Chain A
């Protein structure tokens, strides 16, 4: 191990205080720059000779605003804060669960929403499928200007060259009457390690009490979280029923190619996916029976 004092000044930390200043810095530093939010991913293997643009002093990125129509979450809001602020919001309980159960308490105090969405190398981020199922929009700023796009589009866009110097500023989650969101995660231990698979499920009951506007998002199973359109189609118009959901998921699980990882083989992620979907559906069933709230 290299002694700490021998590592003199291979990296630089920059501390912008506004979004505009941060974006200017990113443009100026080019490929040497890397955005530093909570640091819980980057610090696992700090890159030498880099310029870190720290977001810790950009107050605007830590704001979280809840209105009857939307929840706007600043990119530097931590998991801990997100879970606390969403407490009691009936339509977004699954998002609160994703924020509250990810990793461990010390990580949740530092890891940010933006970090979770921007870290393309991390396939098992809880917030990504939860926000996909919530049909979130993201706001990004580049030297050319700002743009809003769906999270679904952003997950691919962030890998493109055009995204090189972007800053993710906020995430906007719609609050739709009657819409419920469930989140189920499977870890090898009871908690505290990377999830083997993640499922987020959102839907609302229609006039006949059948599921409408169904969105299913899957994380950790492949290299990038994504929606499950085939299953969404099968569940639309069905009643909220765990056994039916598991059966449908079993029939369609070949839509995914499992990710080989040090913790589990590829096939295992697919093997557990239907049951995990069943757990998410059971949450939804319970909330529907309870007038939209968890028991």
Chain B
């Protein structure tokens, strides 16, 4: 099939079988390689992209069902104020890990901070259940997410009282 995807605010054409997983079209035809091709079973979170505002495993989403949706990949998350805040916090805390699992972790944490900003480590860990790190660990990332949530809450209070 030939179709169009709306990704990071722009339209892109693709040509693939309708059942092709979205992440393969992103990587092979559109040149967006931030979503990784890893487990192919929705377990590891390396291919997470935002579809209609929610992180989904792109390896489990057929491209035919991604048409007419708003897709944001890690490459587009920089234009999202909360996404930018998460990335800055991870960099400032030296919590950035390799590029295999990390884009997915940023997608998850951005969604968490938007929907349920929390300083509760258990909640952050539950949110990261579907993001598998194969080489380093999670503790620093969890701490950074909690600090970012606290900073966001404080910024909100400052804005309200200004």
Contacts and interface: CB of A to CB of B under 8 A. Distances in A.
A280 B59 CA distance: 34
B62 interface: yes
Interface stretch (B17-25, B77-85, B91-99, B147-155): B17-25
A12 B62 CA distance: 11
A5 B29 contact: yes
Nearest to A4: B16
B57 A8 contact: no
A36 B17 CA distance: 16
Given A13-B62, A13-B64, A13-B65, A105 B20 contact: no
B55 interface: yes
Contacts of B64: 13, 54
| Interface band, chain A | 20 to 34
Contacts of A88: none
A245 B16 CA distance: 55
A12 B18 contact: yes
Interface stretch (A106-114, A126-134, A154-162): A106-114
A3 interface: yes
A192 interface: yes
A213 interface: no
B17 A4 contact: yes
B55 A43 contact: no
Interface string B1-26: 10000000000001111111100110
Interface in A43-71: 43-44, 46, 50, 52, 54, 56
A82 to B, nearest CB: 16
A119 interface: no
A4 B24 contact: yes
B144 interface: no
B40 interface: yes
Most chain-B Cβ atoms within 10 A of its Cβ — which of A10, A46, A50?
A46
A8 B108 CA distance: 32
Most chain-B Cβ atoms within 10 A of its Cβ — which of A3, A105, A106, A192?
A106
Interface of A: 3-5, 7-13, 36, 38-40, 43-44, 46, 50, 52, 54, 56, 103-107, 109-110, 191-193
16 contacts: A4-B24, A4-B28, A5-B16, A10-B19, A36-B62, A39-B60, A43-B19, A50-B19, A54-B65, A104-B42, A105-B55, A105-B126, A105-B127, A107-B57, A109-B55, A110-B57
